[in-house]
Amino acid sequence: MSSTGSTYGDIHRYEPARESTAAAIAIVLLTIIEVVFVFLFTYGFVSGWGLTDTGNMFLGGILAVIFVDLAFILALYRKEFLPDVMIVKKRRRKWEDLYVREEDVDGNTLGDGAWEQVKRAVYPYYKR
């Protein structure tokens, strides 16, 4: 992925959406099924199906089907109707995010040996 001449924020790749007719029909059918299940859940909720153990599990199952159906609708929409766009971003090394100078990348040692580290652990304000 070598992009010579690309600057931050440039669009590196743009592929338009396929917009297939089969996907549009599938989305419409899934939306109709979604509306039916939402109506069934709402009717069951208002009717008091959730007051019994079996009805409560049934309403939970309907709610799960609603969210799974919605996930399929959104996945189809993303795959078939949204363009594929890649934008160039500037990659930085991890130490640059911490505002560390290049000469301080490896860090500084706290003590010369194990005894110095023990002193520093017991008394944090110990000076060398």
What is this structure's pTM?
A: 0.58
* Number of domains within the chain: 2
In this structure, are 86 and 49 located in the same domain?
yes
In this structure, are 17 and 51 located in the same domain?
yes
In this structure, are 65 and 98 located in the same domain?
no
Hey, what amino acid is at 113? Answer: G
Distance CA 66, CA 14 (A): 33
Residue 3 inside a domain? The answer is: no
Residue 1 inside a domain? The answer is: no
In this structure, are 17 and 75 located in the same domain?
yes
In this structure, are 116 and 63 located in the same domain?
no
Dihedral sign for Cα atoms in the order 102, 104, 107, 112: positive
Summarised one tens digit per residue, pLDDT across range 11-49 is 677 777 778 899 999 999 999 999 999 999 999 999 999
Q: What is the mean pLDDT of the chain?
A: 80
In this structure, are 86 and 101 located in the same domain?
no
In this structure, are 76 and 106 located in the same domain?
no
Residue 45 inside a domain? The answer is: yes
Hey, what amino acid is at 14? Answer: Y
Residue 2 inside a domain? The answer is: no
In this structure, are 65 and 21 located in the same domain?
yes
Provide the residue range defining the domain that includes 54: 11-91
Distance CA 118, CA 91 (A): 39
Contact (Cβ atoms closer than 8 angstroms) between residue 31 and residue 73: yes
C-alpha separations of 61 from 12, 34, 55 in Å: 44, 13, 10
Rounded to the nearest 10°, the torsion over CA 50, 55, 61, 63 is: -30
Summarised one tens digit per residue, pLDDT across range 100-119 is 666 666 666 655 677 777 77
